[in-house]
Structure 1
């Protein structure tokens, strides 16, 4: 140091003060002391904070995030170095200004790279509101977007600020390491099992930290210098304290190594915990979970405009090959892939993760060619969250999306709105048809989901599946046999009711034509193919989408459902079980094997005895007949009638008790949400008993409107208005929607209100029925059967 520093130190010693301290006088440093003391330590802090960005960057796409974190580390530490002469209370505001500038620049850069429109203020507000949940639900690899880089950049800047202040200003190097260590550990925990172990960056972190401790930094004078100006007693006491502190610290380190060492060794080879599993990904409602039920509604309004499609580019792959599209589906637009079937509904069953523009690539089947299709889609009247796209999407611009890589289904978490425009680049696979005849289907736990057959399959479906598979050996032949049978024996109509549960499929396949059987929309054709396919050992799923004739509007009449079968080496192959236009279906009986004929009964040989001539109607009855015939018949008949009446009375009393017990359990037992659901089932059961069952594809509010109309019609135009609670089914529908979308928010008072509405409505509707229907109402077994079926379905799902 210069002479000025020597004079100050001499004055301090003369005053009896420790070296480097004075009352109100700061230590004066030579101009070159910064390069030899503070700058190397500042570089160490920058490297320690930047290594956290290297760890996080392993689960991000590209190398932008590590650069942004390194910039935040450099800026925060540099501000601390440049402001070392200022009071400590002034450093934090200046550093926050630097943080704001660097963060806004980072958000603008990532927004431009992700093609996100909008002003910077709106982008920053959206990122601040949703930064943490979207980071924890984003798909790996995470695309650097404003909401996925905000948290790492801010955390890195704050860690650098705290480390520089504690290390450079207060001279506490080891304590100043705490913020970078916490940031590094948090980064490792956040990455979890989503990347390879970070052995290299961890070793570098430890090495740089040790190097920083070895540097002769400012504010860390040697022990001899610190004790030079102390009296002998004070020096002895200081030495004792230093030795004690060193011994205690060494003992603590050794104890921690002994206690935690075995546990850490056992964890080294284990799989780290993924913190993302504690965060619930985006969810969808029932219509988006099972869009198959929307087919029949769209078929009744074929001119409704749902989308506008413009094909921007198509890269045909292998145009000289065979037509690798057995179902002829072409560039169909896919809405959702339904892989789960519980015997009642087909569902997507997806786990959506927030994704950026670039979606994760999936392996292409070896026996398939790939063509790139790029389309611009504009939403018109399509509702929900499902985002249409040609399979399989690889890049989406213009809309924020969440993606399920297993099914390839996209959603727009904020919901679709008219005018939403986005561009999708897809890689459409086209299987080689020449390999289908000899291709096998996979088996095992990996495909158990698409091979599962739910309990309760009707015996008629099993027999049909067995008959169709007898004449076909290879998997593709079995699939083709099912496809041909459906296409030849059933009629495609737009007005068929929705439904694809086991009873609906059975009625579609075997119901009489004059009663509505053997006819359906693509919903029934696709569902029947998928169920029969699984019964013959084929992994199947149902896809809902559109088949437009070309660019332009996509209307509701273009909605379509088709089945797909998974083949080894070829991937998912679509099939088309729909009949050809203008073809008359063959009778189903022609395609079914007749039941086995019973052996003919032996012909009786002619008797040689003369036939007995029956007595004339007016002939007198013999003594035996008069003695034992008529009285025995009357006695047996009377006993039978009495027993029948007693049995009927007992049955009616049993049904009455069971019905009352069911209603009491629905309305008084369970949580408030369960009681609201029970009240809703009471109302729907009442509609069924009144002969006006609610359709399964109606929303709760639509069912409530229909229920009020049914009650008004039953009471007649001249009747007095029904009680307020009897027409409060709309309020009950709102409570039911809260159970579905905000579970756990209902109170006991709201559950009691729901029960009162249900009782009043059921009473009002029953009173409006004819007298003989009122008598049968409380003993009708229909609600008991439906409750039993519901419990079976819930137990099967569990």
Structure 2
């Protein structure tokens, strides 16, 4: 028998004494050193790559590659420090790594501050970043600017993950346990990104691949020869054992990959399509009450015209006479005050761009602005800002306005580069205005509108059909009839606007500051179906100080394909205002009885003594009575024929709306039948009402009609409305296809206290409104069955409303020519 080769064993104490450089077993010689090096590389490389991929995933919501580069540097530095310190005692590795972390963090914060253009020393930048890093990161606007406060947390988290993973995986040999910190870091990056970027499929696949490679490759952890399963065996047997171990490792990896491939679709199917955005749990920067409604500051500035608020220096773009600098945009009105209602997000130096209309020309304006006596948080800038340096800002993309969360201080200097838009004026005459939920905020008219304001808006709208013509008419009316005074009291609630518009001139009415002019325009515009808002800003004379006298409020109107267009309702300095009564005289609330003829309920029979005489004998031709009778008969015949034609045309129109066309068109036609029924009943739906509000008005109209039919007393407005059909023609259609009439019987929503009866088709009307909203906001999704349902609902409501009218009004309802001529 052959003798077995001697087994060489080395005790653990001897191995520690020899150190890592002493070859053991087959690792002796240069080839053994290369083998140890190859075994030592995979796990550190896998850890570095996994941590770096977390930076790649997080960097998708950052502007530029700076954040990714800093995280990659942290991954490389943390792991390599642990690899280099393996000969040191374990308790000494952490202090050395933390010292290296401090150096890398200081360098990274300096790079980020320079990239963001933030002033201040390294100490100030570091303290501010440490204090505000987490809230600013979660409230930052996408894309996030790589500033010191937005890179500090990812940087430190990446370094600590690398330190922990390297110590566990390399020093103790527990590679799988060492993967826990990189996995948590990667999951945190995915969570922070949320729905703000596309799914990270590629980085996730690479993450799993490198993790599997680190597990499959043998560890570089040096072990005693006695711990080697192949130690002491013959070379051939040792090779076979190692081959089996390698095959088992490959099989294990294959099983893990196969399980992932099989389970991934199942797990993915249980995940919501839209990930959770952690930003919704953090409150964004807020403004104070002074900045929430800066419109009230106009009167105070008007009384101190020489107060210097800011100083402006134009660096790029010619400063124009009267070029406006915007301070705030107010879109919300509750009948008492206008409010900003913006959602500000922390932003970096570069602000997200907003799309402009195709035919809009733009030019760049760069200004250096120095704050003087202006207080609050709002930052003035030429619309629309694209880059801000010298100040940390928060930005509202919907309005394009800026704030400084820390507040304004005298001497604050910042530079703003803005893109000034110049829409094509030739498009305004024919431009339409948008409608729907997207602009419901700037179309909303709260309850309690004074009747005089509504009548004035109706008068101006009926005289001007196109949206731009309506807006220009409102601006001209205000400019021609009212006076600007610096001492006018502040206020823009409904009572203030009513006094401004209709108050006696010798009693303080019909005069105000730009606050009242802009607010009155915006409210009248919304009543006329125009999406409006109020803007507060300044009109400097050029470069230099901007004083309180330059403060101004102006209205803007949104047009499709054009954008927000400012209007100037201020009077000309050299023109004397005309009395309002010359162009608008509100009708009395209760007209004299002689102006409201009461309908005859029963026909009056002709008295016997006044009967028409019969023909006289001896006359050759028909007498005057016969001619009169024949003429009357012909007239009755013509009237009957005309009524028959009208009834036929009305019936054909209804059938065309409810039975022809695609389902969406039929549903819109059914809604048109409902709104025209309301108009025929004396309850026209306003242009500013949404479909749900029109449905509520329809329920109230039917309730009042049934109450009147049962003998209940009617409100004065209802009696005036029922006295006759609206005489004025329609104005522009609203989103629901309804029209506004000049009938004085329009009552604001909520003004009536009578509740609908329990038998009213309220749910059916709401269902019809829901079908209309589906057609408007999801075109092409309506089905023929839904169109048939809409036709049934509309027909049922119209029949119920018509049945609740007096018999003679039901006859007039059938032949009323209004629906044939009202704009469709």
**1:139 partner SS:** coil
2:172 corresponds, among 160, 170, 173, to: 170
Q: Which residue of 1 aligns with 2:47?
A: 45
Residue 432 in structure 1 maps to residue 424 in structure 2: yes
**Cα shift readout 1:596-634 (whole Å, capped 9, x = no counterpart):** 8858699xxxxxxxxxxxxxxxxxxxxxxxxxxxxxxxx
Residue 305 in structure 1 maps to residue 308 in structure 2: yes
Q: Which residue of 2 aligns with 1:215?
A: 217
Offset at residue 430 of structure 1 (A): 1.0
* TM-score (structure 1 length as normaliser): 0.67
1:115 corresponds, among 111, 114, 117, to: 117
Residue 413 in structure 1 maps to residue 405 in structure 2: yes
Contact 1:55/1:201 (<8 A) preserved:
yes
Offset at residue 500 of structure 1 (A): 0.5
Offset at residue 57 of structure 1 (A): 0.7
2:270 corresponds, among 266, 269, 280, to: 266
- CA RMSD in angstroms, aligned pairs only: 3.2
Residue 334 in structure 1 maps to residue 326 in structure 2: yes
1:347 corresponds, among 339, 342, 359, to: 339
Q: Which residue of 1 aligns with 2:148?
A: 146
**2:198 partner SS:** coil
Offset at residue 253 of structure 1 (A): 12
**1:80 partner SS:** helix
**Cα shift readout 1:408-451 (whole Å, capped 9, x = no counterpart):** 11001111011000000000111111110000001111111111
What are the within-5 Å matches in structure 2 for residues 352-367 of structure 1? 352-367=344-359
Q: Which residue of 2 aligns with 1:485?
A: 477
**Cα shift readout 1:561-601 (whole Å, capped 9, x = no counterpart):** 00000001110000000000032110111111563885869
Q: Which residue of 2 aligns with 1:199?
A: 201
In 2, the alpha carbon distance for the partners of 1:353 and 1:444 equals 26
Q: Which residue of 2 aligns with 1:557?
A: 549
Q: Which residue of 2 aligns with 1:663?
A: none
Contact 1:171/1:220 (<8 A) preserved:
no
Residue 449 in structure 1 maps to residue 452 in structure 2: no
**Cα shift readout 1:337-370 (whole Å, capped 9, x = no counterpart):** 0011111111110111111110000001123111
In 2, the alpha carbon distance for the partners of 1:158 and 1:339 equals 46
Offset at residue 220 of structure 1 (A): 8.4
Unaligned runs of 5+ in 1: 1-5, 231-247, 317-327, 603-788, 790-798
In 1, the alpha carbon distance for the partners of 2:6 and 2:68 equals 47
Residue 292 in structure 1 maps to residue 276 in structure 2: no
State how many pairs are aligned: 567
* TM-score (structure 2 length as normaliser): 0.65
Counterparts in 2 of 1:293 and 1:211: CA distance versus 1, 3 Å: same
**2:9 partner SS:** helix
In 2, the alpha carbon distance for the partners of 1:336 and 1:60 equals 27
Greater CA deviation, 37-46 or 559-568?
Answer: 37-46
Greater CA deviation, 117-126 or 418-427?
Answer: 117-126
In 2, the alpha carbon distance for the partners of 1:8 and 1:381 equals 89
Offset at residue 22 of structure 1 (A): 7.2
Q: Which residue of 2 aligns with 1:11?
A: 10
**1:389 partner SS:** coil
**2:10 partner SS:** helix
Counterparts in 2 of 1:220 and 1:341: CA distance versus 1, 3 Å: farther
Counterparts in 2 of 1:249 and 1:77: CA distance versus 1, 3 Å: closer
**Cα shift readout 1:358-400 (whole Å, capped 9, x = no counterpart):** 0000001123111111111000000000000000000001111
In 2, the alpha carbon distance for the partners of 1:467 and 1:21 equals 104
In 2, the alpha carbon distance for the partners of 1:114 and 1:541 equals 33
**1:542 partner SS:** strand
**Cα shift readout 1:305-337 (whole Å, capped 9, x = no counterpart):** 101001111179xxxxxxxxxxx9952010000
**Cα shift readout 1:728-753 (whole Å, capped 9, x = no counterpart):** xxxxxxxxxxxxxxxxxxxxxxxxxx
Counterparts in 2 of 1:482 and 1:220: CA distance versus 1, 3 Å: farther
Counterparts in 2 of 1:11 and 1:463: CA distance versus 1, 3 Å: same
In 2, the alpha carbon distance for the partners of 1:563 and 1:212 equals 64
Q: Which residue of 2 aligns with 1:236?
A: none
**Cα shift readout 1:653-684 (whole Å, capped 9, x = no counterpart):** xxxxxxxxxxxxxxxxxxxxxxxxxxxxxxxx
Offset at residue 40 of structure 1 (A): 2.6
Counterparts in 2 of 1:499 and 1:130: CA distance versus 1, 3 Å: same
**2:546 partner SS:** strand
Q: Which residue of 2 aligns with 1:474?
A: 466
Counterparts in 2 of 1:540 and 1:8: CA distance versus 1, 3 Å: farther
**Cα shift readout 1:269-328 (whole Å, capped 9, x = no counterpart):** 610000011011111111100000000000000000101001111179xxxxxxxxxxx9
**Cα shift readout 1:514-568 (whole Å, capped 9, x = no counterpart):** 2211110000000000000000000000000000110110001110000000001
**2:429 partner SS:** coil
Contact 2:536/2:554 (<8 A) preserved:
yes
In 2, the alpha carbon distance for the partners of 1:222 and 1:563 equals 83
**1:358 partner SS:** coil
Offset at residue 458 of structure 1 (A): 1.1
Q: Which residue of 1 aligns with 2:715?
A: none
In 2, the alpha carbon distance for the partners of 1:500 and 1:601 equals 36
In 2, the alpha carbon distance for the partners of 1:77 and 1:209 equals 15
1:156 corresponds, among 158, 165, 171, to: 158
In 2, the alpha carbon distance for the partners of 1:539 and 1:364 equals 18
Q: Which residue of 1 aligns with 2:511?
A: 519
Offset at residue 214 of structure 1 (A): 1.2
In 2, the alpha carbon distance for the partners of 1:453 and 1:441 equals 16
In 2, the alpha carbon distance for the partners of 1:352 and 1:279 equals 12
What are the within-5 Å matches in structure 2 for residues 65-144 of structure 1? 65-144=67-146
Contact 2:322/2:540 (<8 A) preserved:
no
Offset at residue 25 of structure 1 (A): 7.8
Counterparts in 2 of 1:491 and 1:9: CA distance versus 1, 3 Å: farther
Q: Which residue of 2 aligns with 1:660?
A: none
Q: Which residue of 2 aligns with 1:237?
A: none
Contact 1:499/1:524 (<8 A) preserved:
yes
In 2, the alpha carbon distance for the partners of 1:405 and 1:551 equals 27
Contact 2:37/2:220 (<8 A) preserved:
no
In 2, the alpha carbon distance for the partners of 1:439 and 1:537 equals 14
Contact 1:467/1:593 (<8 A) preserved:
no
Contact 1:329/1:574 (<8 A) preserved:
no
In 2, the alpha carbon distance for the partners of 1:519 and 1:435 equals 33
2:282 corresponds, among 258, 279, 283, to: 279
2:393 corresponds, among 395, 401, 413, to: 401
Offset at residue 39 of structure 1 (A): 2.0
In 1, the alpha carbon distance for the partners of 2:94 and 2:255 equals 37
**Cα shift readout 1:491-521 (whole Å, capped 9, x = no counterpart):** 1111001001111111111111122111100
**Cα shift readout 1:11-36 (whole Å, capped 9, x = no counterpart):** 33xxxx8xx99798866554445521
